[in-house]
Amino acid sequence: MKKIVMLAMLTVFGVATSNAQTKKAKAAPAKKETAAKAETPKVEGAGMVFESETIDYGTIPHNADGKREFVFTNNGTKPLIITNATGSCGCTVPTYPKEPIAPGAKAVIGVKYATDRVGAFSKQVTLTSNAEGQATKTLTIKGTVLPDATAPAKTDAPKG
């Protein structure tokens, strides 16, 4: 009889322990989600947090597609309004959302670099907005445009 009672107690204890471990394992991913949300601090007013503030085109061919996008989130409590976006020269043309970006919403700043210009480049895009503490924000694009491959030179030597 004592053995049966002892076996029943061990079984109950084993089930309870295994349930506790399962609950701990399920709770672990929630901590990761909380940590990810904590990386983007909320601000009072409008806010702007970019996934990346620099776009590296790398080495690209002459006349390649020069369009890229900066993705950002309004991490504030009020709508974000971007009033202007300018490139540091005529070769860098930005586009931006004209409508307010709601709190928590994602949006995109488009940029097009004129890849008909050969060589290394580093250009800036300056944004003007109502973001708390950062009325202007500077983003960077960089890379290298390769020259066209040169065709083998023709020779005018007579056939012989």
pLDDT digits (tens, 9 = 90+) for 129-155: 999 998 999 999 999 999 987 544 444
Instruction: Give yes or no for a contact between 112 and 93, defined as CB atoms under 8 angstroms apart.
Output: yes
For the chain, the helix, strand and coil percentages under 3-state DSSP, each to the nearest 5: 25, 40, 40
Residue 136, strand partner residues: 128
Distance of alpha carbon 47 from alpha carbon 45, whole angstroms:
7
What is residue 42's predicted lDDT score, i.e. its pLDDT? 87
The amino acid sitting at 7 is: L
Distance of alpha carbon 116 from alpha carbon 128, whole angstroms:
28
Low-confidence ranges of the chain (pLDDT < 50): 5, 8, 10-13, 15-38, 151-157, 160
What is residue 150's predicted lDDT score, i.e. its pLDDT? 56
Tokens of 118: 């050969």
3-state secondary structure of 38: helix
What is residue 81's predicted lDDT score, i.e. its pLDDT? 97
This prediction's pTM? 0.68
Distance of alpha carbon 39 from alpha carbon 30, whole angstroms:
15
Residue 68, strand partner residues: 111
What is residue 149's predicted lDDT score, i.e. its pLDDT? 74
